[in-house]
Amino acid sequence: MRKVSLQDIYEHPITQKYVRRSGMAHAISVAYHAFHLAKEYEVNPDWAAKAGFLHDIGHYEWYTGGEWDYDQYREYDIHPIKGAERAHKLLIRLGEDKLAAKEISHAILFHTESALPKGNVELNAMQKVVHLADEKDKQPGDEHHYRNIDQEKERFLVKRLDEKIEQALAREIEPK
Ligand SMILES: [Fe+2]
């Protein structure tokens, strides 16, 4: 039995504030991709989906005069680090298993190259899954951060993914 559901995470004000900032539709879609990839990479589908959902929770708003400032973002952004810490704090506060919280937090820290030293860095399977899931949802011009769906649909999709995770954990069926 999971201690924390995606619905618990979704409803929390911290998630609503920070995940919405970087795109709720993107977060949900990366959670789905991570869930599907979890089977192939033999990682826990619950942890993968949660890490996918929370991977961009560390984003800061780099606005200059109402426009997103990519130069500032590239130069100063530390969203993987902020996200790893923020997600960990949120998960622990919600009562998440400590090992799950750690693995999810590490996957967020390593989801993008920006927090990694140059050269060959070996990611574990969970970290690869979250990185690949994010890549799958990327759109030209960073449009994925601005895509919107209504909140009723968001709730429906989050609840449905919770059900898929429960089924995958309970019966070890192929995630669909
Ligand atoms: Fe992302």
CA of 145 relative to ligand 1 center, distance in Å: 8
Q: What pLDDT score does 117 carry?
A: 81
Give domain status of residue 146, yes or no.
yes
Contact indicator for 22, 59 with CB cutoff of 8 Å: yes
Q: What is the distance in A from the centroid of ligand 1 to the CA of 136?
A: 9
Measured N-to-C along each axis, helices 125-137 and 24-41 cross at an angle, to the nearest 10 degrees, of 140
Q: Mean pLDDT throughout 155-170?
A: 97
Average pLDDT over residues 75-85: 94
Residue 55 Cα to ligand 1 midpoint, Å, equals 6
**Is the residue at 176 inside a domain?**
no
Task: Report if residue 165 sits inside a domain.
Answer: yes
Determine the residue type at 129: V
Res. 173 pLDDT band, cuts 50 70 90: low
Give which of 24, 26, 47, 25 is closest to 37, Cα–Cα: 47
Residue 1: inside a domain: no
Q: Residue 76 falls within a domain, yes or no? A: yes
In a domain, 34, yes or no: yes
Q: 44 pLDDT band (50/70/90 cuts)?
A: very high
Higher pLDDT, 118 or 175: 118
With respect to residue 31, please indicate whether it lies within any of the assigned structural domains. yes
35 C-alpha to center of ligand 1: Å? 15
pLDDT higher at 76 or 100: 100
How far, in Å, from the CA of 130 to the mean position of ligand 1? 9
Give, in degrees to the nearest 5, the angle at Cα 113 between 111 and 81: 60
Task: Tell me if 83 is assigned to some domain.
Answer: yes
Q: Taking CA 111 as the corner, what is the angle to CA 160 and CA 155, rounded to the nearest 5 degrees?
A: 20
Tell me, in angstroms, the distance from the centre of ligand 1 to residue 133's CA. Answer: 9
- Is residue 119 pLDDT above 90, yes or no? no
Ligand 1 centroid – CA 173 distance (Å) = 28
Please check the confidence at residue 176 and state whether its pLDDT lies above 60: no
Distance 24 CA to ligand 1 centre (A): 10
Please give the tally of structural domains in the chain: 1
Tens digits of per-residue pLDDT, 26-41? 999 999 999 999 999 9
Cα-to-centroid distance, 18 and ligand 1 (Å): 13
Confidence of residue 114 (pLDDT cuts 50, 70, 90): confident
pLDDT tens per residue, range 95-112:
999 999 999 999 999 999
Q: At 174, is the pLDDT very low, low, confident or very high (cuts 50, 70, 90)?
A: low
**Distance from residue 33's CA to the centre of ligand 1 (Å):** 12
Mean pLDDT over each residue of the chain, to the nearest integer: 92
CA of 57 to the centre of ligand 1 (A): 9
Task: With cut-offs at 50, 70 and 90, classify the pLDDT of residue 3.
Answer: very high
Residue 43 structural domain? 6-171
Question: What's the CATH number where 140 sits?
Answer: 1.10.3210
